Chain A
């Protein structure tokens, strides 16, 4: 299995901050990476695929980058609705997820 490691596990930030979440794969996955946002008690919401392609309707303050084994999700200016847990997921082989990054209000 391809292991996905996210960091940090928790991130404290303020409205308007620029934040970056990192995801590392245990082997190269090219750009076969997706990102999801999940709020408590809710289903995950699909944000990004192919490492950097924004799903339709996702605000442009979200962006993804990276290839190979290191990837980032950046939120350029945090909004109140962005406080949630974020997961990366590789799909080079059978899907595996990172353990999540909880983005909380400082």
Chain B
């Protein structure tokens, strides 16, 4: 069965950096696009980034450009999110999620990890 397990979250001071990981299993990781989605405390869902199955295309919403970098290692079945210059507004649960498109991307999410909490606080 498809399994996505995030890690790397924690408490970090404003201005610092953090790298999240998402380990995938139960499917051919290199065949699918992957996303990051976040959810601030008590708030709704916010799309963070997509990386295509082969890493050839990467997109972010304007609000995430410049500080967030998504990458993947298909040999390790792992997705990453590098975050720099963190602010308190980045406090959220960060989910990795699979795009259902096979060798393409539909931009919705059929499987989600359990999430990893990122808290930015001094």
Contacts and interface: CB of A to CB of B under 8 A. Distances in A.
Interface of A: 1, 34, 36, 42-46, 49, 55, 87, 89, 91, 94-100
A42 B114 CA distance: 6
A32 to B, nearest CB: 8
Interface stretch (B13-21, B67-75, B82-90, B102-110): B102-110
19 contacts: A34-B108, A36-B45, A42-B114, A44-B95, A44-B109, A46-B110, A46-B112, A49-B106, A49-B108, A87-B44, A91-B107, A94-B47, A94-B61, A95-B47, A97-B46, A97-B47, A98-B44, A99-B44, A100-B45
B27 interface: no
A43 B110 CA distance: 11
B113 interface: yes
B95 to A, nearest CB: 6
Contacts, number: 50
Contacts of A1: 61
A9 B114 CA distance: 24
B115 interface: yes
B68 to A, nearest CB: 14
A97 B45 contact: yes
A95 B108 contact: yes
Given A43-B95, A44-B45, A100-B44, A95 B107 contact: yes
Given A99-B44, A100-B45, 12 more contacts: A43-B95, A44-B45, A44-B109, A45-B112, A49-B100, A49-B106, A89-B45, A91-B106, A91-B108, A95-B35, A97-B44, A98-B44
B105 to A, nearest CB: 9
A36 B47 CA distance: 14
